[in-house]
Structure 1
Amino acid sequence: MPCYRLEGVTPVVHPTAYVHPTAVLIGDVIVGPGCYVGPAAVMRGDFGQLVLEEGANLQDTCVMHGFPGCVTRVEKDGHIGHGAVLHGCVVGQDAMVGMNAVVMDGAVIAARSIVAAAAFVKTGFECPPQSLIMGAPAKVKRELSDQEVAWKQQGTREYQRLTERCRDSLEPCEPLAELDVDRPRLNAGDTQPKQQTLDKGQAS
């Protein structure tokens, strides 16, 4: 992976984590045990510190950054959907930020909450645990049901399994010129979470 030391500060990646070779890590970055960092994700720790705690995922093309002196943190089992931007914020334990959402400086997404896709969470935002957060600017719409939290947790477990799958078998290759015989399918089978509709929008 492109990994850069800055002013003597070197990124840290736990040996049980998986960071895709196209992800970029710069400076004060800490990737914890069992984390997944997807293709083209950027963790730019050139001002403040960036932390992924155990079991968190940061998916394709996500960006983590922050102002000088701040810590941008995704707590244990946090789940950050494709293309999201986290800037100087905290995403609480077992919370999720949906695709293309933006979470700004000083915002705190409480544990077990879900930020809907394409939401814009303003500076200094706070919410109670287990909140559904939607809109631009984002607001707490309602409390999440236990069933919706369980749906999120199942999706996070799939990414934790993906971490192991990638560490075990992902490798560069040349594409085939034609479809191979008895081609295997890559899917999670019966463990695939059923998608839940969150009011009028999808969270991820």
Structure 2
Amino acid sequence: MNLFDFEGKRPTVHPEAFIAPTATLIGDVTVEKGASVWYGAVLRADICTIVIREGANVQDNSVLHGAPDAVIEVGPGATVAHSCILHGGVLEEKALLGNGSTMLDGTRLGAGSMVAAGSLVSPETQIPPGVLAAGTPAQVKKPIEGTMAQFWVDANPPYYAELAQRHRTGLKPA
């Protein structure tokens, strides 16, 4: 695990969180119980604060950073999927930022909502709870209830929690 102090700010990681050995956490980062930060992810809180709440997951090659004094929060059970950029945004509980998507400063993804893969959430955009948003710029498309998107929002947190425990115990240098 690559943890770095920066100007007196130090990452805090709960002992029951999983941080992949190639993930990098810098500065004012907090990772709560049962959360996971996966391979190649970079959480750079040199000028901002980053909080990964209980059971949340930040997947491979994602980058989290923000403007000075911003608070970036990945809520309980929320997902930042593979190769995302989260720059100054907030994901509420069980929200899902789809693969390769970007959320910019001042954005908020409501509880149980999903941003489709490859989308761009423009600065200051507020996506309400329980919807699917997509596009560049991302716009609300429909309620998520009863869709395949809801399946991913619901299935992802327990799946990644279990997979993180397997990596905690089963990962060995080859």
For Structure 1 versus Structure 2, the TM-score category normalised by the shorter chain is over 0.9
Query: Residue 164 in 1 paired to residue 165 in 2?
Result: yes
Q: Secondary structure at the match of 1:73?
A: strand
Q: TM-score, normalised by structure 2?
A: 0.96
Displacement after TM superposition at 1:36 (Å): 1.1
Determine whether 1:85 maps to 2:85: yes
Percent identity reads: 38
1:129-187: CA deviation from partner (whole Å, max 9, x where unpaired): 111010001100111114542442112211000111111111111xxxxxxxxxxxxxx
Alignment length (residue pairs): 173
- Specify the code of the residue in structure 1 equivalent to 2:155: Q
Q: Residue 9 of structure 2 aligns with which residue?
A: 9
2:113–2:153 contact (8 Å) kept in structure 1? no
Identify the residue that residue 129 of structure 2 maps to in structure 1: 129
* Greater than 6 Å deviation, 4+ residue runs: none
Question: RMSD in angstroms over aligned alpha carbons?
Answer: 1.0
- The residue type paired with residue 19 of structure 2 is V
Show the counterpart of 2:105.
105
Q: Secondary structure at the match of 2:123?
A: coil
Partner of 1:26: 26
Q: Distance in 1 between matches of 2:75 and 2:2?
A: 24
**3-state DSSP of counterpart to 2:26:** strand
Match of 1:166, SS? helix
1:127 shift after superposition: 2.1
TM-score, structure 1 normalization:
0.82
Tell me how far 1:58 sits from its aligned partner.
0.3
CA deviation after TM superposition for structure 1 residue 28, in Å: 0.4
Deviations 1:20-75 (A, max 9, x none): 11111100000111011110000000011001000000000000000111100000
SS in 2 for 1:157: helix
Measure, in 2, the Cα distance between the counterparts of 1:151 and 1:84: 16
Unaligned runs of 5+ in 2: none
1:155 match: secondary structure: helix
Larger Rg: 1
User: C-alpha separation between the residues in 2 aligned to 1:27 and 1:169?
Assistant: 28
Amino acid corresponding to residue 55 of structure 1 in structure 2:
G
Structure 1 unaligned segments of length 5 or more: list them: 174-204
**Equivalent residue, structure 2, for 1:119:** 119
Q: CA deviation at 1:16?
A: 0.4
- Give deviations 1:56-114, integer Å, cap 9, x for gaps: 00000000000111100000000111000001110110100000000000001000000
Give distance in 1, aligned partners of 2:34 and 2:114.
21
Identify the residue that residue 39 of structure 1 maps to in structure 2. Answer: 39
Q: Partners in 1 of 2:166 and 2:31 — Cα distance? A: 18
